[in-house]
Structure 1
Amino acid sequence: MTVYVPAMTGPTAVPPDLDGSHVLAVPRGTSLVPLARAWFPQAAWSREPATAAQTASARPMTGARFRGIAVAPPDPTGALSLDGAVEVVGPWPLDAADARALGLPARDSDLYGLPAAPVAGATLTPELVTGWATAVARRTGGGILPAARDRVVVPDPGAAVDLTLWSAVPLSPDDALPLVRPALSGSRLAVPAPVSGRSQAFTLVATYEYDGEVEVRCARSREVPVVLSTLDWREHGPWGYHVTWRPPDPLELEVPHPSQLHVIARQRVTPSIARVVASLWRTVGGTIVDAGGFVVGHEEVDDRARPR
């Protein structure tokens, strides 16, 4: 779910340097490099932002011998190159009050500028870059100000409930079912897929009257999330354990404001999904990736597993 808020009119706290650019807002201090490399493995700073210590140490020269000498302060912003051509520039600080006035989440934030038009020599399309920015905003609880400044995009972090465990170890359906059932009561084996190697791809399904279905699908894949290419090969594998929620009305996954019944059902299934993934991970190891293509640490999985 993504919330669209009408843009505020009148003076804003967005720096003029960002005019004509899409603006990504993330919580203050968020490290953007690992989030960028999850989609663009070669991402790196072409110009690193100045640290607070560097900015504070750049004091004007004083005394008679320095009269007439102007000292330019260091540029506090950096340039994060995604592909050698497309750059994300920032951060610019934004306090919680100004963020609220803009329609963004009311917290101290960092602003980054994204190109709103194709960049010469780029291998990335503007649509892919803004798709990444939307995923980052959802992942971090941030938001986006489009270049037109006609609205504010605030993706709902709670909407991304699906998780996938990527492991080198396949399980048989008979071994997986006892691991899944404590978190998903009533889980049953659906029609198995064709045999793959020594093991069998399979799907387990748990169905609930008011909460829809939770599906656990195990399959070997030739295509894995980009973020896995940034990890040691021993930390993951080709076997994906995809844990997916299918709500009673799937269309509610796409609307900006789903019903309260949808939200309540989502809150009930989210801990179960996390517990299933945690149980599988303890058995087969691997790396957990969320629906946005970002690695999810075990502490976060444990936090998701707690009922709200």
Structure 2
Amino acid sequence: MIALPRGTDVLALATAWFPAARWSREPGRAAAARPMAGARFRGMAVTTAPGPGLLDLDGAAEVVGPFPLAAAVARAVGLPPRESDLYGVPVTGLGDVAAGWATAVARRTGGAILPADRSRALVPDPHASVDLTLWSPVPVPPRDALPLLRPSLSGSRVGPVETAGRPDGPAEFSLTASYEYDGQVVVRCARSHEVPAVLSTLDWRAHGPWAYRVSWLPPDPVELEVEQPSQLHVIARQRVTPGICRVVATLWRTAGGTVVDAGGFVVTPEELDERVRTARR
């Protein structure tokens, strides 16, 4: 099961991975009236009480919920002491895809994965990945990349812009900013034929084929794969996060488009600003 903060829009999170996701039964809606059997009950019907909904993930599996979880119970299983909603996620059907979606949703919302016996919850680190991608219809010329982005990468040594010539269109480019103790931030611009599923839920004018991928390469890349990295890794991540967000915000103001995080969810400009403020605390 996944535990999410009370009131989380789980349908919006589902369509980010499964664009055709829908409520086959909305939460809180009673089932249709069912005729009672037997001659003496002729003309009488019963309805069941309102209950959890059924969220259809593109017809391959259904998520059941929400089931309310009180703040005191949430705290007892290792969650923040707040009211939460539980959703049952199938272990068959979509298999690893459903499990991956559940983990991404828990990470995105500050929720958790809760075993069926409701023992200690697994709380994915919501700050584990700081990588962001801007999907835009506009290519920024490589000659403009360095003067445009250097102010957002303060404290780093920014290398030369590397280009890949395209005889039929604008050149793709990459730019690397190196930090003495915090690794590197790499900005890559390239045209892509594959886009995240969440973009199919947006107006086509809100994004484009040009992917501006902004990635962090920490001093020890292995720490990106562990759920509880070292304190040095966490500190370095906190220091580079504001710069990554500023780079993406600058590109968005210049080229327009839609920002998507490593979990496949849309990040708004307001959220970019909030990430900068949070990382500085």
Q: Deviations over 1:252-294 (max 9, x none)?
A: 1111221111101101111111111011100100000000000
- Number of residue equivalences: 264
- Stretch deviating more after TM superposition (185-194 or 154-163): 185-194
| Kept in 1: contact 2:68–2:86 (CA 8 A) | yes
1:130 aligns with 2:99: yes
1:50 aligns with 2:28: yes
Indicate the residue corresponding to 1:95 in structure 2.
Answer: 70
Indicate the residue corresponding to 1:207 in structure 2.
Answer: 178
1:192 partner SS: strand
Q: Deviations over 1:50-77 (max 9, x none)?
A: 17xx9xxxxxxxxxxxxxx997563231
1:92 partner SS: strand
- Stretch deviating more after TM superposition (277-286 or 153-162): 153-162
Residue identity matched to 2:103: T
Q: How far 1:149 sits from its partner (Å)?
A: 5.7
- Stretch deviating more after TM superposition (203-212 or 140-149): 140-149
Q: 1:222 aligns with which of 189, 193, 206?
A: 193
Q: How far 1:181 sits from its partner (Å)?
A: 0.5
Identity, % of aligned positions: 65
Q: How far 1:158 sits from its partner (Å)?
A: 1.0
Please list, as runs of the form range in 1=range in 2, the aligned pairs for 1:16-165 lying within 5 A after superposition: 23-50=1-28, 74-118=49-93, 125-147=94-116, 152-165=121-134
2:162 partner SS: coil
1:130 partner SS: helix
Q: Deviations over 1:179-233 (max 9, x none)?
A: 2111113322353234263211111000001110000100000001110011111
Please list, as runs of the form range in 1=range in 2, the aligned pairs for 1:159-238 lying within 5 A after superposition: 159-185=128-154, 186-195=157-166, 197-238=168-209
Q: How far 1:85 sits from its partner (Å)?
A: 3.8
Residue identity matched to 1:163: L
1:183 partner SS: helix
Q: 2:214 aligns with which of 237, 243, 247?
A: 243
| Kept in 2: contact 1:180–1:187 (CA 8 A) | no
User: Which of structure 1's runs of 4+ aligned residues deviate more than 6 A?
Assistant: none
Q: How far 1:151 sits from its partner (Å)?
A: 5.4
CA distance in 1, matches of 2:119, 2:82: 21
| Kept in 2: contact 1:116–1:147 (CA 8 A) | no
CA distance in 2, matches of 1:31, 1:134: 16
- Greater relative contact order (CA < 8 Å, ≥ 6 in sequence): 1
CA distance in 1, matches of 2:167, 2:99: 37
CA distance in 2, matches of 1:223, 1:24: 29
Residue identity matched to 1:262: H
| Kept in 2: contact 1:163–1:289 (CA 8 A) | yes
Residue identity matched to 1:35: L
Q: How far 1:83 sits from its partner (Å)?
A: 1.7
Indicate the residue corresponding to 1:62 in structure 2.
Answer: none
Q: State the TM-score, normalizing by the size of structure 2.
A: 0.88
Residue identity matched to 2:110: G
CA distance in 2, matches of 1:213, 1:196: 30
CA distance in 2, matches of 1:145, 1:38: 22
Residue identity matched to 2:126: P
Residue identity matched to 2:15: R
Could you list the runs of 5+ residues in structure 2 that have no partner in the other structure?
31-43
1:224 partner SS: coil
